[in-house]
Amino acid sequence: MKQILLSLFFLLIVQGSLCAQERTYITETDDYIAWQPGVKLTFDMFKNPKPSEKDSVIMAKYGLKAGRYTGFYYILDVPKKARRKGGWKDGLGEKAYFCAMFSKHQSWMSVRDSFELQMSQVIWDIEEWGTRLSRKYLSDMEKQFQEANGGHKSTGVISIFYVDACRHGRKWKKQLMNEFIHNVVFPSDTTKYHEYRKMVDELLADTQDYASTPEEAERFLLNKPVDPRYKKADFTMGDPNLDEDVVRNDSVPNVQVK
């Protein structure tokens, strides 16, 4: 009897372990899709049937056949219990999330043009590259402080450098994005496109260790912390777009799961 009970006990442990390993995250909704390795844009993701008035003017001026709405999103979560037991005191650190999002319900395409789809993919990939630079920036800061602290992990580093990391990633992705739009999208230059496609592929390969994760995708799509022990930070030490010293941490898109 004791042997049977022990067998059942170990079976439950194994089943629990398998369930934990099979944890899946939401990476796409009817309206949004988060960049993930191997995921490509399709014509069906351009759900907006009609361009806005502003887009129509641009479309007429430059002869565009599509409008793609992508975004670089960021947010900082911190333990609910802060420095009390069950929070930082027990080893829970801050979590910075970054995400390259594609808005399906806003993006439109007047005709199914393969070149427009290819250009849209590059733009989305550039957004992803920016998020990777932000993650790498934080990782480098953590390593520097850990080395200075005798190999011990320092609490608070992510909070301190979170805004700097956001600015770093957004700065470089914006620069490359502007170049791509100016040199490829508006003139619809297929030759230049291949040059930028190769460049972006190389940039993504060089930063593959900092790729977006399914956990980050769900954090933004559900608009709430993935880990129930965490909450969104009420304030951050500055803002990626402003020079204010303290601002609210409100950079999450208003996305709803249907």
Percent of all residues in the chain with a pLDDT value above 90, rounded to a whole number: 65
Q: Is 8 helix (H, G, I), strand (E, B) or coil?
A: helix
For every residue of 43-102, DSSP letters joined together read: GGG---SS--HHHHHHHHHHT--EE--EEEEEEEEEETTTTSTTTGGGT---EEEEEEEE
- So what's the pLDDT on residue 63? 84
> What are the Cα distances from residue 157, in Å, to 77, 105, 110, 138, 243?
13, 37, 47, 8, 20
Average pLDDT over residues 101-123: 96
Encode 106-157 in three state secondary structure: CCEECCCCHHHHHHHHHHHHHHHHHHHHHHHHHHHHHHHHHHHCCCCCCCCH
Asked if residue 142 lies in contact with residue 99, where contact means CB atoms within 8 angstroms, the answer is: no
Which is higher by pLDDT, 257 or 175?
Answer: 175
Nearest to 68 by CA among 130, 123, 127: 123
Of the given ranges (6-10, 68-72, 132-136, 230-234), which has the lowest mean pLDDT?
A: 6-10
Read off the pLDDT band of 152 (50, 70, 90): confident
- For range 35-57, the mean pLDDT: 93
The pLDDT value given to residue 64: 85
pLDDT category of residue 132 using cuts at 50, 70 and 90: very high
pLDDT band at 253 (very low <50, low <70, confident <90, very high): very low
pLDDT at 193 over 60: yes
Hey, what are 128's tokens? 């992803």
Of 252 and 122, the one with more pLDDT: 122
